[in-house]
């Protein structure tokens, strides 16, 4: 079964013409932008860029009365874009028989090793095939009402393409205690989280701290380092240490590092944005590592092909430690890097 479904309902024939159409005019700021990017910004936040792309594939987006075929089509000033809006999605997620890698489970909580590609909770463009759908099927009614309809039991999250350890609450008591621990980010010693990131280049220092506020990027979808005085700025701190260096001391090939990151705050895409900010983006990151894609050309085969084919950020939450909300015992869980990331790291070790 597919881990997620980003496509809109299948709209064909007369169904398209019977739906409500939204007509938008491209202003001067639209010139040169990709159609899907511009539409996602204009229709957001309920319509994601992936949903816009699905609508384009289904013929629901037209310019000048003609259906658009290319999501990457460049916009021109004054164009009128017509979008046949999709039907409303179901309000409550349903259980789905999606396999879970369970590390631990009791009456209070469940700990899983989330694979890359699995969205945590339902949202625009991802109403099915999520971790929440899998948890509802696995846990039944025990998650009902805990933490909200669309995020039952969820006290923290990992990006869709980030793998690793997650804990989910099964009772109100566990949800309250774990939510407080994650909100505190371990400052009181009750929580420890660590990630492994394969990044481009080798940091000048073996360890360091990135203290830089995050806010929305210009496209309104991604995040970026922004001035602290900006209205949407959120305090963000990441501590990193270099675990391994690859290609150090040679000049023929691009270098890389395996870095451990620990969060003092928990902002969206924090590690990915912070590592890119200091010049060491996560390898494979499609959002924050685009400027470094040509680095792969400076690698020997077969590593060059392996890096080029790696379609997600090489980021893994390998460690999670917390105090059990009922027994108050410290619980520690570790998850090895998934095979695709381990093989990629292995390739860099041969440099």
Instruction: Give the best-scoring range by mean pLDDT among 24-38, 67-81, 130-144, 269-283.
Output: 269-283
- pTM equals 0.74
Average pLDDT, the chain: 88
Higher-confidence position of 250 and 149? 250
Residue among 16, 4, 334 nearest 160 (CA): 4
Q: Would you state the pLDDT for residue 325?
A: 94
Q: What is the pLDDT of residues 116-144, one digit of tens each?
A: 999 998 876 678 899 999 999 999 877 86
pLDDT at 8 over 70: no
pLDDT at 46 over 90: no
Q: What are phi and psi of 113, to 5 degrees?
A: -105, 100
Residue among 1, 3, 40 nearest 312 (CA): 3
Residue among 320, 325, 337 nearest 166 (CA): 320
Q: What is the pLDDT of residues 189-202, one digit of tens each?
A: 689 999 999 999 99
Instruction: Report the C-alpha gap between 173 and 179 in whole angstroms.
Output: 10
End-to-end CA separation in angstroms for the chain = 37
Other C-beta atoms lying within 10 Å of the C-beta of residue 327: 10
Q: What is the pLDDT of residues 55-69, one digit of tens each?
A: 888 888 999 888 998
Q: What are phi and psi of 331, to 5 degrees?
A: -120, 135
Q: What are phi and psi of 271, to 5 degrees?
A: -60, -45
Q: Would you state the pLDDT for residue 17?
A: 41
Q: Sorting pLDDT into bands at 50, 70 and 90, what band is 20?
A: low
Sign of CA pseudo-dihedral 3, 6, 9, 12? negative
Residue among 256, 254, 307, 301 nearest 284 (CA): 307
pLDDT at 3 over 90: no
Higher-confidence position of 270 and 93? 270
User: What single string gives the DSSP state of each residue in 148-183?
Assistant: -SSSTTBSS---TT-EEEEEEESSHHHHHHHHHHHH
Range from 36-50, 147-161, 266-280 carrying the lowest mean pLDDT:
36-50
Instruction: Report the C-alpha gap between 130 and 153 in whole angstroms.
Output: 13
Other C-beta atoms lying within 10 Å of the C-beta of residue 134: 22
Higher-confidence position of 187 and 127? 127
Q: How remote is the C-alpha of 191 from its chain's centroid?
A: 22
Angle at 257 (CA atoms; ends 254, 261), nearest 5 degrees: 145
Which of 36, 159, 285, 287 is the catalytic position? 159
- Tell me whether residue 159 is one of the annotated catalytic residues: yes
Q: Would you state the pLDDT for residue 151?
A: 83
pLDDT at 163 over 60: yes
pLDDT at 31 over 70: yes
Q: Sorting pLDDT into bands at 50, 70 and 90, what band is 282?
A: very high
């Amino acid at each position: 079964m597919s881990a997620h479904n980003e496509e809109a309902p299948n709209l064909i024939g007369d169904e398209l013409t019977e739906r409500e159409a939204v007509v938008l005019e491209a202003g001067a700021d639209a010139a040169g932008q990709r159609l899907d990017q511009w539409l996602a910004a204009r229709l957001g936040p309920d319509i994601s860029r992936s949903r816009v792309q699905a609508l384009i594939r289904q013929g629901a987006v037209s310019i000048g009365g003609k259906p658009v075929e290319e999501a990457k089509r460049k916009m021109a000033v004054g164009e009128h874009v017509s979008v046949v809006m999709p039907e409303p999605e179901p309000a409550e997620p349903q259980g789905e028989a999606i396999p879970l890698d369970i590390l631990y489970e009791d009456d209070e909580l469940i700990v899983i090793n989330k694979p890359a590609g699995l969205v945590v909770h339902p949202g625009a463009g991802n109403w099915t095939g999520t971790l929440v759908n899998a948890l509802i099927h696995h846990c039944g009614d025990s998650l009902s009402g805990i933490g909200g309809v669309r995020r039952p039991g969820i006290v923290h999250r990992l990006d869709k393409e980030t793998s690793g350890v997650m804990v989910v609450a099964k009772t109100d008591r566990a949800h309250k205690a774990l939510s407080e621990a994650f909100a505190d980010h371990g400052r009181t010693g009750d929580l420890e989280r660590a990630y492994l990131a394969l990044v481009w280049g080798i940091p000048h220092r073996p360890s360091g701290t990135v203290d830089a506020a995050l806010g929305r990027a210009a496209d309104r979808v991604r995040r970026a380092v922004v001035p602290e005085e900006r209205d949407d700025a959120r305090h963000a701190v990441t501590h990193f240490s270099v675990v391994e260096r690859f290609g150090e001391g040679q000049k023929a090939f691009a270098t890389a590092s395996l870095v451990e990151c620990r969060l003092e705050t928990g902002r969206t895409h924090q590690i990915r944005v912070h590592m890119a900010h200091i010049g060491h983006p996560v390898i494979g990151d499609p959002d924050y590592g685009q400027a470094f894609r040509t680095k792969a050309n400076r690698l020997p085969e077969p590593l060059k092909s392996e890096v080029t084919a790696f379609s997600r950020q090489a980021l893994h939450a390998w460690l999670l430690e917390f105090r059990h909300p009922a027994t108050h015992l410290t619980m520690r869980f570790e998850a090895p890097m998934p095979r695709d990331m381990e093989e990629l790291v292995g390739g860099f070790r041969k440099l």
